[in-house]
Amino acid sequence: MTDDLPSWRDGDTRRAIEEFVTQATSGAQAVPVEERVAVFDNDGTLWSEKPMPTQLQYIVGRWAAAVEKHPELAERQPYRAVAGGDLAWLGGAVDRHYAGDDADLHLIIAAIVALTDGMDVEEYAASVSDFFASARHPVRKTSLFETTYQPMRELIAYLEGHGFTCYIVSGGDRDFMRPMTERAYGIPPERVIGSALGLTFDAESAQVRYGSTFAFLDDGPEKPIRIWTRIGRRPILAVGNSNGDMPMLDFALGGAGPALALLVHHDDDARADAPYDAGAEKALAGAGSRGYTVVSVQDDWAEIFVSGEQQDEGR
């Protein structure tokens, strides 16, 4: 057993990872380096998404400022939830999306579009970078970079050490993730695939700006489409944690050669966020028949969160 995955306990899951990498990189079924593509969901897979996804934490702050400036906004959702401190409504909207009900998600998306309409992409990136520089996790009270999962950082490094190219494929906003992924995971912005707002080019200022439309939500069946659009290859490893990741996991397993699909199960009630299956019920129920390897946070991870010292040292 190697020391490349020190936060992974010895067991079936770790052995499945190591056996897959050995099979994909050596012997008769070795995959050419250029075809060693691995894709990772972000929220709940690479870092904590409870009590709410980090992007929602950023957005809530901006919505609160908008309500303070325009109190009439509090008459409708999602501003009403923010003004009343009803963050459970926001988290519930995400859970309802994973259960197939997007009514509240559409309200959230419309309010997100309103925040960025007319803003240029560099201004938005600077705003997001400022947020990450000072924001704290609402429960753990640590830097948001310290809510990344150490085992996943090790897995990315382990794969890259064996010739894999790793991408993030998330339902989160692509441009919200890009300012932080290199520091957090060593994944550069050009390898971040996510949901996107509509963009326009302002010839007079030579700026790319956000428009008044939402281009696409990178979740569910959209994930394999965006993977193919951006990468042009089928991944041979995919990692997710929710129902919305199932098409991406199935896409990885659908090829002819070695493949692995990992499904993170949040079942640890002592060291991490409170256990939750909401939004992952279908994936967990179908894991066995579909060929997913379930990663138990409780049983498979010896350590969960990266420490501040580890973050300062990098991966």
Per DSSP, the three-state class of 16 is helix
Please name which of 167, 181, 170 lies closest in space to residue 129, comparing C-alpha atoms.
181
Per DSSP, the three-state class of 266 is strand
The predicted-structure confidence for 214-224, as pLDDT tens digits, reads as follows: 999 999 999 99
Sign of CA dihedral 183, 185, 186, 187: negative
Inform me whether the pLDDT recorded for 1 exceeds 80. Answer: no
pLDDT tier for residue 311 given thresholds of 50, 70 and 90: low
Inform me whether the pLDDT recorded for 2 exceeds 60. Answer: no
What pLDDT does 208 receive?
Answer: 98
The alpha carbon of residue 110 and the mean position of all alpha carbons in its chain are separated, in whole angstroms, by 21
The predicted-structure confidence for 6-24, as pLDDT tens digits, reads as follows: 999 999 999 999 999 999 9
Q: Which residues contact 196 (CB under 8 A, 6 or more apart)?
A: 173, 174, 175, 214, 215, 216, 218
The alpha carbon of residue 118 and the mean position of all alpha carbons in its chain are separated, in whole angstroms, by 26
Inform me whether the pLDDT recorded for 62 exceeds 70. Answer: yes
Q: Which H or E run includes 313?
A: helix 308-313
Please name which of 277, 169, 178 lies closest in space to residue 222, comparing C-alpha atoms.
169
Q: Compute the mean pLDDT over every residue in the chain, rounded to the nearest whole number.
A: 93
What pLDDT does 46 receive?
Answer: 98
Of all residues in the chain, the percent with pLDDT exceeding 70 is 97
What pLDDT does 98 receive?
Answer: 77
Inform me whether the pLDDT recorded for 93 exceeds 90. Answer: no
Give me the helices (H) in 75-170, please: 79-83, 87-98, 103-116, 121-134, 150-160
Inform me whether the pLDDT recorded for 54 exceeds 80. Answer: yes
CATH dotted code for 12-49+143-313: 3.40.50.1000
Inform me whether the pLDDT recorded for 97 exceeds 70. Answer: yes
Domain boundaries, the chain: 12-49+143-313, 54-134
Residue 109 amino acid letter: I
Q: Which residues contact 244 (CB under 8 A, 6 or more apart)?
A: 97, 98, 171, 219, 220, 223, 279
Inform me whether the pLDDT recorded for 312 exceeds 60. Answer: no
Tokens of 212: 């008044």
Please name which of 240, 239, 236, 238 lies closest in space to residue 259, comparing C-alpha atoms.
236
Which stretches does DSSP call E strand in the chain?
37-40, 165-173, 192-202, 207-216, 237-240, 260-265, 293-296
What pLDDT does 155 receive?
Answer: 98
The alpha carbon of residue 306 and the mean position of all alpha carbons in its chain are separated, in whole angstroms, by 16
Whether residue 105 contacts residue 96, with contact meaning beta carbons closer than 8 Å, is answered with: yes
Inform me whether the pLDDT recorded for 309 exceeds 80. Answer: no
What pLDDT does 100 receive?
Answer: 85
What pLDDT does 94 receive?
Answer: 76
Q: Which H or E run includes 48?
A: none
Cα–Cα distance for residue pair 32/16, rounded to 1 Å: 20
Mean of the pLDDT values across residues 263-292? 94
What pLDDT does 308 receive?
Answer: 63
Residue 76 amino acid letter: R
Q: Which residues contact 267 (CB under 8 A, 6 or more apart)?
A: 275, 296, 297, 298, 299
Across 45-59, 83-97, 171-185, least confident range = 83-97
Inform me whether the pLDDT recorded for 103 exceeds 70. Answer: yes
Inform me whether the pLDDT recorded for 83 exceeds 70. Answer: yes
Cα–Cα distance for residue pair 174/35, rounded to 1 Å: 23
The predicted-structure confidence for 121-174, as pLDDT tens digits, reads as follows: 999 999 999 999 999 998 899 999 999 999 999 999 999 999 999 999 999 999
